Amino acid sequence: MEPGPVERLVLPSDPRAAFHARRHVEAVCQGLPADTVDVARLLVTELVSNAVLHADGAVLMTVARTPDGLKVEVYDESPRLPTVLHAQPPAEHGNGLRLVDALATSWGTAPRDDARRGKRVWFVLGRARGGREYVPRDQGGPAGAAGSEMCG
């Protein structure tokens, strides 16, 4: 698979943001296996919904095809880094990052890397060298770098 350019989308901080994010991911994912597209749509919905719910201001999403899959980053203006909650199902809230952790090849959180206040949460779908890997929130690396290090 050929890597592609990083596609950026600025989303409003409202409930429709996840819908627009899913549509954008579908367009970027054309030609990828259907199960990869489905997982990407689900995980984007979780990350964008969290950004809208827990942060103020616009949400920036970047999507890039990598040689082995896909990397998605969601930026918001809240400096609070999210954590995986270990709520007992069927909890109504608190399962989003558990889904990301279960379904993504790798993922992480870090402060924004574009000189703005806030954070980014990212995930990679594709093959990972040495298997699935979680990158701790303080080791998120620059945009594109973490995905290229873990997908091979």
Q: Which domains does the chain have, with CATH numbers?
A: 7-150 (3.30.565.10)
Summarised one tens digit per residue, pLDDT across range 95-123 is 788 889 999 999 999 998 888 889 999 99
In angstroms, the CA 111 to CA 127 distance is 25
What is the percent of the chain with per-residue pLDDT over 90, rounded to a whole number?
51
Query: How many other CB atoms are found less than 10 A from the CB of residue 58?
Result: 15
Summarised one tens digit per residue, pLDDT across range 42-64 is 999 999 999 999 898 899 999 99
User: With contact defined as beta carbons under 8 Å apart, do 128 and 106 qualify?
Assistant: yes
Task: Using pLDDT thresholds of 50, 70 and 90, give the confidence band for residue 135.
Answer: very low
Closest C-alpha among 99, 49, 101, 94 to residue 76: 49
- Give Cα 15 distance to the centre of its chain: 17
Summarised one tens digit per residue, pLDDT across range 3-36 is 778 999 999 999 899 999 999 999 999 988 999 9
Angle 6-140-147 from CA coordinates, rounded to 5°: 45
pLDDT at 16: 94
pLDDT at 83: 77
